[in-house]
Amino acid sequence: MTDMERLPSFNGEFAPIAYRDGGIDLLDQTKLPGQVQMLRITQVSGVAEAIRHMRVRGAPAIGITAAYGLVLAADNGDEIIPAAGSLRATRPTAVNLTWAIERMLAIFRGHKDKPLLDLRAALLTEAHRIHAEDIGANRCMGRHGAELLPPGATVLTICNTGALATGGYGTAYGVLRAAHEQGRLELVYACETRPFLQGARLTAWELKKDEIPFRLIVDSAAAYIMSAGKIDAVLAGADRIAQNGDSANKIGTYCLGVLAHHHGIPLYVVAPRSTIDTTIASGEEIPIEERPGQEITAPFGINIAPADTPTWNPAFDVTPASLIAAIVTETGVHRPPYRLTGKER
């Protein structure tokens, strides 16, 4: 079997996560693109480690992984509430993590007086449902988003929003896939996405796998490429969207929003409703994760800055709604002024 044939799948879709026989099979994204290495995780602590160290990453993907993590907790007879707390504490910005854990806890509460085997089965059913719904949402977003693109579109994107970042298919990347399937996508420019290089390592890997024409660019080439008139739209995912449409996504997305606005290019944010935080009015309330400075000074173990260089490494930024031409969810294309409740039809 080749590396590619060993990739996990769910509902016929390549997926970075699969639950099988009391364990989670996880594609270790820190090893891509060099190695396609599967991890077998059987303990909640291993799930938390994998999310924290970004072996699995992307807002929907970490939510789904945490959901399966709570199935493991039941498999192992662990206390569910502390297990949920340890998973929730791994990464603060993506609301999908909390959202998925809350769905699992609702099942737990509903089965308090039932036998452990029933609880375990119900948790697994709910985790599979969360996973399947995510793929379904992605396919819908793909269709809605592709309609926003002109025929022969050239699109700029950031980070990785593909199958790797989700339950399968992708969000902003799913729009690229759908547009490619419809023959209306000419070229993708993928920002490398410093410092963790999700664009260079992961999006480029997926674009190659899916045979979508692309060029990898350094993040700082974005302004120049827009000024050259080469970009029809910017597509980005999101980790948390406030009611007013302010959207947190990978650091650098705000920068692209400012640039796109300056050049008259639409920025579309593509995310499932599970990314909408209905409890917050604006982006000011979004917690922004700060990651270790070594990601900047010594990416992937290679020192590129003097020893003890001080750093600041926010992993996300918030793009104000005023810079977002539309937010695409599974229910359709939402235009400003945004009043997102998570129940849009």
Contacts of 295 (CB under 8 A, 6+ apart): 195, 196, 313
Residue whose CB is less far from ligand MRU, 74 or 195: 195
Closest CA relative to residue 262, chosen from 222, 235, 205, 293? 222
The residue within the footprint of ligand MRU, chosen from 239, 246, 277, 317 (CB under 6 A), is 239
Shortest CB 123 distance to ligand MRU, Å? 24
Distances 60 to 14, 133, 139 between C-alpha atoms, Å: 15, 11, 14
The minimum distance between CB 164 and ligand MRU, in angstroms, equals 9
From residue 180, alpha-carbon distances to 125, 129, 262, 336 in Å are 33, 28, 27, 27
Of the residues 244, 249, 297, 319, which one makes contact with ligand MRU according to CB under 6 A:
249
The three-class DSSP label of residue 280 is: coil
Can you tell me which of 65, 90, 154, 166 binds ligand MRU, judged by CB under 6 A? 166
Q: If binding is defined by CB under 6 A, does position 171 make contact with ligand MRU?
A: yes
Distance of closest approach, residue 217 Cβ to ligand MRU, in angstroms:
17
Q: Does 317 bind ligand MRU (CB under 6 A)?
A: no
Asked if 315 touches ligand MRU (CB under 6 A), the answer is yes
- Number of shown-chain residues binding ligand MRU (CB under 6 A): 17
Concatenated DSSP letters of 177-233: HHHHHTT-EEEEEEE--TTTTIIIIIIHHHHHHTT--EEEE-GGGHHHHHHTT--SE
* b/e sequence 257-289, b meaning 16+ C-beta within 10 Å: bebbbebebbbbbbbbbbbbbeebeebeebebb
Binding residues among 253-292 for ligand MRU as defined by CB under 6 A: none
User: Is 165 among the residues that bind ligand MRU (CB under 6 A)?
Assistant: yes
Nearest residue to the partner ligand MRU, using Cβ: 237
Residue 193 · residue 219 · CB < 8 Å:
yes
Strand arrangement of the beta sheet that strand 185-191 belongs to: 214-217, 185-191, 153-157, 233-236, 267-270, 326-329, 332-334
User: Could you tell me which residues come within 8 angstroms of residue 105 by beta carbon, excluding any fewer than 6 positions away?
Assistant: 70, 80, 81, 84
Identify which of residues 41 and 271 has a Cβ nearer to ligand MRU in the complex. Answer: 271
Q: Which candidate in 134, 239, 277, 317 is catalytic?
A: 239
Q: Is 127 left (phi over 0), alpha (psi -120 to 50) or beta?
A: alpha
Among 90, 98, 157, 198, binds ligand MRU (CB under 6 A): 198
Structure tokens given for 267: 């920025």
Nearer to ligand MRU, 60 or 75 (CB): 60
CB of 330 to ligand MRU, least distance (A): 13
Among positions 161, 203, 297, 319, the unique one binding ligand MRU when judged by CB under 6 A: 161
**Do 173 and 60 touch, CB atoms closer than 8 A?**
no
CB of 248 to ligand MRU, least distance (A): 8
**317 catalytic residue (yes or no):** no
Residues 58-77 that bind ligand MRU (CB under 6 A): 58-60
Site string for ligand MRU, 78-97 (x = CB under 6 A): ----------------x---
Cα Rg, the chain, nearest whole Å? 19
Closest CB to ligand MRU among 250 and 273?
A: 250
Which residues of the chain form contacts with ligand MRU (CB under 6 A)? Answer: 57-60, 94, 159, 161, 165-166, 171, 198, 237-239, 249-250, 315
Catalytic sites, residue numbers: 239
